[in-house]
Amino acid sequence: EHLRRSERLATVGTLAAGLAHELGTPLHVIAGRARMIASADGVNEDARSDARAVVDQAARVQQIIEQLLDFARPRRAERRTLDLPGLIRADVDLLRPLLQRRNVQAKLNVVGVPTGSRISADANQLRQVFTNLLLNAAQAMSEGGEIVIEVTYHQPTPEGLRGTAGAPPSFTRIAVRDHGSGIEPDDLPRLFDPFFTTKKVGEGSGLGLAVVHGIISGHGGWIGVESEPGKGSTFSVWLPEEPIQEDDAGSPGGPRGAIIGGEQG
């Protein structure tokens, strides 16, 4: 089944790359002409408003094209030792305006310290992962609420990687938990498939989680989800830990239980 899925994803990736290339040039022309109309003298306000709408929608299509390329041609990870809680904290700080508009805040809990080990990963790719998971969690909570992000060090090998040759014995788990609408059981097996989405038309491309899955797999990690309709979902990311010498050991750590999104009550 894993082999069949890999073959399907490779085929979809080839098609996606070709589609993204074919759409790119005409999209730039459309957006450029619309900007000219929106800023031209003598254009009535209705036409100017319509042109701005074209520019906005072209930007949305461009974002989908970029997601297509991220999925079809993933960049090679540029790994560096990371302060994982610090990276998450900074990412949520950037998302704070969006979270506030949805009446959502985020709480970061750090369990334990990374004694004798470190996380080596591509910071930009992990920001993409956490941005996607956090925005999905916020969108799932239509009435607002709290997202809990928990970083737990020195976890055993996740079930999906057990028995895999070369799998490290220790992982850091990052769980993103919401109390939103949840996911139907029948949808869970397809959640990381490209173009599959449970969102309404126009609210998602169905590529975000496929890209996330590819990034985490490329880091030798694993991503899983637990969900119950009406009660919420927990997305868990496992990243492999690397052993380090005592004299190289650091303590990235981070504030425990700090409110990092929305406003403190």
If asked whether residues 68 and 84 sit together in one domain, one would say no
Domain boundary among 17, 46, 72: 72
Residue finishing a domain among 47, 72, 97: 72
48 lies in the same domain as 178:
no
Q: Of 222, 189, 214, nearest to 6 (Cα)? A: 214
Are 240 and 113 in the same domain?
A: yes
Q: Are 260 and 248 in contact (CB under 8 A)?
A: no
Secondary structure (DSSP) of 166-201? T--S-EEEEEEE--SS---GGGGGGTTSTT---SPT
What is the C-alpha separation between 84 and 239, in angstroms, rounded? Answer: 10
Q: What's the confidence (pLDDT) of residue 265?
A: 35
**How far apart (Å, rounded) are the C-alpha atoms in residues 45 and 77?**
47
Question: What are the residue ranges of helices labelled H in the chain?
Answer: 2-39, 45-72, 84-101, 123-140, 208-218
Distances from the Cα of 77 to the Cαs of 51, 221, 234, in angstroms? 39, 13, 25
Cα distances (Å, whole numbers) of residue 66 to 19, 44, 72, 107? 11, 33, 10, 30
Percent of the chain, pLDDT > 90? 44
Given this model, what pLDDT does residue 120 score?
A: 92
Whether residue 182 contacts residue 231, with contact meaning beta carbons closer than 8 Å, is answered with: yes
Range of the domain at 36: 2-72
CB 238, CB 84: distance < 8 Å: no
Each residue of 149-200: pLDDT tens digit? 999 998 888 887 776 766 777 899 999 999 999 999 999 988 888 777 776 6
**DSSP-derived pairing of the beta strands 80-81 and 120-121:** antiparallel
Q: What is the pLDDT of residues 31-89, one digit of tens each?
A: 899 999 999 988 899 999 999 999 988 887 877 777 667 766 667 778 999 999 999 99
Q: Work out how many domains the chain is built from and give that number.
A: 2
Q: For residue range 191-248, list pLDDT tens digits in order.
A: 888 777 776 655 556 678 988 998 998 899 999 999 999 999 999 999 999 876 554 5
Nearest to 150 by CA among 119, 175, 177, 132: 175
Same domain, residue pair 167 and 132: yes
Could you tell me how far CA 9 lies from the centroid of its own chain? 18
Domain CATH number, residue 49:
1.10.287
Last residue of a domain, one of 53, 72, 91: 72
Same domain, yes or no, for 146 and 251? yes
Residues 91 and 216 in one domain: yes
Same domain for 130 and 208: yes
Burial of 216 (0-12, 13-18, 19+ CB in 10 A): buried
Number of neighbours of residue 60 by Cβ within 10 angstroms: 11
pLDDT at 99: 93
Pair 163, 135 in one domain: yes
Q: Provide the CATH number for the domain around residue 125.
A: 3.30.565.10
Q: CA-to-CA distance for 137 and 20, rounded, in angstroms?
A: 28
Residue 1 scores a pLDDT above 60: no
Same domain (yes/no): 95, 123: yes
pLDDT in tens, 11-39: 666 676 677 777 777 888 898 999 999 99
Q: What is the pLDDT of residue 11?
A: 66
